[in-house]
Structure 1
Amino acid sequence: MYNIIKDVINKDEYKLEDTLYKINKLWVENNLTEEERDELVSLARTNANPNNSYAENTIQIGNLWEYYQQLDTRLSLLENGQGAEPPLEEEWPEFVQPTGAHNAYKSGDKVIFAFKKYICQMDGCVWNPLVYPSAWELVEE
């Protein structure tokens, strides 16, 4: 199993979240040693391609529809002379799973994930701090 997973990772056609889940499952089932698991997890994170981890099309369409509705509401308010001031952004917004390159996190972006504050350490990040911890810096308070 180790060689099969390693070949999949080296082909660069995998979703990081799914691959990490499968590696951990094989390890729990005693089909991988701890050393093999650690090596595969590291390799998977190092070779991860953000393009392979975007949400499914239906999720993207749903997010676009929600965004369209928000824009339509804001446009209506502006046409009626209301809402000229843009809303204030939260300094630490909740982590939202990116659906593509247009809303991937970039270096310096701040988020709250699992009740903890994180700062993104890479551009084009589509993974949460649990899936790709080295892409995020935990802010201790």
Structure 2
Amino acid sequence: MKKIIVAVDGSELSDKALDRAIFEATRHGAEVLCVNVVEGLTFLAYKREEIPDAWERLMREPNKLLAEAAQKAEAAGVRLRTLAEAGRPAETIAKLARQEKADEIIVGSRGKNALDNMLLGSVSGRLVQIAPCTIVVVR
């Protein structure tokens, strides 16, 4: 195994997914790509001229989560890159997995937004359907 993608959103289960990714990377000498995907539809609430400021505000939390993940990986001696994207989470993560030729994607079984999970289906469930590689769903 050479490359692992892990999705983080600040939920308890995404923290467990990150821990699992670091463990697997240590075990296999793999690189980790840690991703946070901001729902692309969020921008519909803003006027065009407000989007740059809105983007900065929206990215504060993801950037903080990704910085914390990088520190955790560094402490474990794991190579980790971070990436914040906008879009539909499952589709964005699957696309990244194809581009990166990832061997595995690790995600929590439920994200931060339980309402979205109930109404739209979970990101992990969708990834199981569309991902180009092995999916590990952490509970």
- Same fold, judged at TM 0.5 (above): no
- TM-score, normalization: structure 2? 0.26
The structure with the largest strand share of the pair is 2
The structure with the largest helix share of the pair is 2
- TM-score, normalization: structure 1? 0.26
